[in-house]
Amino acid sequence: MNIYDIAQRSGVSIATVSRVLNGGKNVSQKTREKVLSVMQEEAYTPNAFARGLGLNTMKMVGILCTDVSDTFYAKALSLVEGNLRRHGFDVLLCCTGSQLEDKKKYLELLLQKRVDAVVLIGSAFQENTDNSHIGAASKQVPVVIINGLVELPNVYCVLCDEKEALTRNVELLYRQGSRRILYLYDTLTYSGCQKLAGYREGWRSCGLPEEDLLAVQVNKNLEEVRSKVKSLLENGESFDAVLASEDLLAVGAQKALAGRGLTLPIIGFNNSVLAQCASPSLSSVDNMLDTLCPTAVNLLMDLLDGKPAPHKILLSAQLTERETFRMDSTPHV
Amino acid sequence: MNIYDIAQRSGVSIATVSRVLNGGKNVSQKTREKVLSVMQEEAYTPNAFARGLGLNTMKMVGILCTDVSDTFYAKALSLVEGNLRRHGFDVLLCCTGSQLEDKKKYLELLLQKRVDAVVLIGSAFQENTDNSHIGAASKQVPVVIINGLVELPNVYCVLCDEKEALTRNVELLYRQGSRRILYLYDTLTYSGCQKLAGYREGWRSCGLPEEDLLAVQVNKNLEEVRSKVKSLLENGESFDAVLASEDLLAVGAQKALAGRGLTLPIIGFNNSVLAQCASPSLSSVDNMLDTLCPTAVNLLMDLLDGKPAPHKILLSAQLTERETFRMDSTPHV
DNA sequence: TGTAAAATTGTAAGTGCTTACAATTACGTA
DNA sequence: TACGTAATTGTAAGCACTTACAATTTTACA
């Protein structure tokens, strides 16, 4: 069943059928209704490939996502997908894992499917790293980066100020008496670097001695984190508060501390469901995905409509206070 | 840059170029190399739409997923996507939410994009419910259901025996002395119904009085669950163990109990990261996504290759023991 | 070296849609 | 009623590929 059949059965030409298919502008009320009713009867569905060939678009956006099973990325994906769909776009999903080579390869695959744009979730790295794949992609279609920053012509970034958030966290803890704050982090994506820099910056602004910095890299795996922190404690490493680049890492630390009967202020990051589920519940920085993702999609729609758009939209993060840290609690020193 | 350009520049016909594009069978080594090198030089990418039109496939599988931000579904999605990609298929993702109407609408959208198959995650309902959309879809392409069961001609189901798992849970708790087990559940998808039935079945097999059944429906929201369980406790409802259809619900109960200084055996479901993160860590039933998803994809590949495949593959679930319940612990009554 | 079979290559006809442009029809007005 | 204009419709040429079938070249073997 194709456009010719419909044309024949409704006594018009294929051009008219096509017009009805594309919004029905320049078609008389009468013929449109006739054609539509025939389509209905015959349960006709236009062939998306032919459509794509003629229009040079299938209204699909590619999403490159490091790891969908990660709660944070999953939430971002969910929000971006929902908003794109609202605008009539379908999502071609590609989970890359953290390997740069895979990201490159898969990004090319997305482009081969002729997506109208690409959204990157957790796939942008720090400035001095190889972001050539992003550059290449941006020459073909607009690229929108969620929570990352890459400064290139056709690349648009929507992110929240994670560096500032971490600096603030350090300062808050300092004000409540902490003097040696453990910082746990995992991957050094753009976001990861910003957070680490924010931790250092906070340290500096509090006038703490540089040699006391205690930033420890770990894998995003609960058991590994717990045992890492446990061994820190066993080796006599002293610290009086914990920050983390990710809730899971914070929970791992929490468990290690609990195992030794310790209760320190802890602040996680991403404000995921893990933070709620932890006991005691985990204070966490919310990086505003709920506003960041719709913003990103709106920006993308503007771009696809040929409207100008800012290359960078920066939101502020917000601390969600729970049991492991409260701003108004009595200083603990 | 199209196939004509490549043909011209390599001194062959478009048919030959096309052959090279499609695996290079029936092309001499020499010409193939020549054509490939020209493609390389010109950075040629075949037009996926034209390709799709000619081949009547773009090698895409549609995934209909209730909610990607849910850790369980996210994990399933991640595994299915990865396995499909390994077989050269791209994933068209569609998150539907729990509304049946939306599922129907979105499933049609997927089909309009001419996907080669559809995989359903969390979108199948119990037998006597309206699964007409699935029937309609299965007339066009094979449908594979992850963790659900719908008995229709072109529908293939890969699931784990959740009913049996819940029955076993009840029996295990009974053996350790529990006599009134609270069961918390949320949506009555196919999976949800099976679990509820399993709870009842266990009750029966233990010879417990029917009127003591305590199955409570709640929304999958930590705060709601906690307050629900809290109010159960306040209203004097008595129970001595907790089962849940989902880890999040179990954690909610755990928090409510902890708030009253109670420690009961608890077993969650899905064995998600939440179960690890909870304190005390939550025993949980693992529904084997790690094997279920690859199995489902393999089955789908067989179908697409025209091979026969079983309409139902049933795995057994496995209890992962953590702090809230251990099989070898001393009976607590 | 000749010849049949096999391997390679090219021609041309799809695949189902969009759209510029030409042709037709309808409408308002003199 | 005739005519200019606007609205509607049709014709035909893309869009970039696949593939059946015919034509050509290569290979194997007598």
DSSP string, A62-87: EEEES-TTSHHHHHHHHHHHHHHHHT
Question: Can you give the pLDDT at residue B63?
Answer: 98
Quick check: B316 contacting A, CB < 8 Å? no
Of A60, A132, A70, the C-alpha closest to A98 is A70
Query: Using the beta-carbon criterion (under 8 Å), do A56 and B78 form an inter-chain contact?
Result: no
Closest CA of chain B from A68, distance in Å: 6
Question: Can you give the pLDDT at residue B327?
Answer: 85
Query: Using the beta-carbon criterion (under 8 Å), do B112 and A81 form an inter-chain contact?
Result: no
Percent of chain B scoring above 90 in pLDDT: 92
Tell me the per-residue pLDDT of B192-211, one tens digit each, with 9 for 90 and over: 999 999 999 999 999 999 99
Tell me the per-residue pLDDT of B290-299, one tens digit each, with 9 for 90 and over: 999 999 999 9
Quick check: B188 contacting A, CB < 8 Å? no
Percent of chain A scoring above 90 in pLDDT: 92
Neighbours of A198 (CB within 10 A): 24
| A184 in Cβ contact with A199 (< 8 Å) | no
Asked if residue B212 has pLDDT above 80, the reply is yes
Q: How far apart are CA B310 and CA B142, in angstroms?
A: 13
For residue B127, give Cα distances in angstroms to A327, B124, B150, B151: 52, 9, 7, 8
Tell me the per-residue pLDDT of A155-185, one tens digit each, with 9 for 90 and over: 999 999 999 999 999 999 999 999 999 999 9
Beta strands B214-217 and B181-185, pairing class: parallel
Q: How far apart are CA B16 and CA B35, in angstroms?
A: 9
Question: Can you give the pLDDT at residue B65?
Answer: 97
Q: How far is the CA of B46 from the C1' of D17 (A)?
A: 8
Asked if residue B333 has pLDDT above 70, the reply is no
Q: How far apart are CA B300 and CA B154, in angstroms?
A: 11
Nucleotide nearest to A27 (CA to C1'): D8
**Averaged pLDDT for residues B270-287:** 96
Question: Can you give the pLDDT at residue A333?
Answer: 44
A57 CB below 7 A from strand C atoms: no
**Who among A58, A68, A254 is closest to B77 (CB)?**
A68
Neighbours of A151 (CB within 10 A): 10
Query: Using the beta-carbon criterion (under 8 Å), do B222 and A69 form an inter-chain contact?
Result: no
Asked if residue A332 has pLDDT above 90, the reply is no
Would the pTM of this model clear 0.85, i.e. be above it?
A: yes
The domains located in chain A, with CATH, are 3-55 (1.10.260.40), 60-160+289-317 (3.40.50.2300), 162-287 (3.40.50.2300)
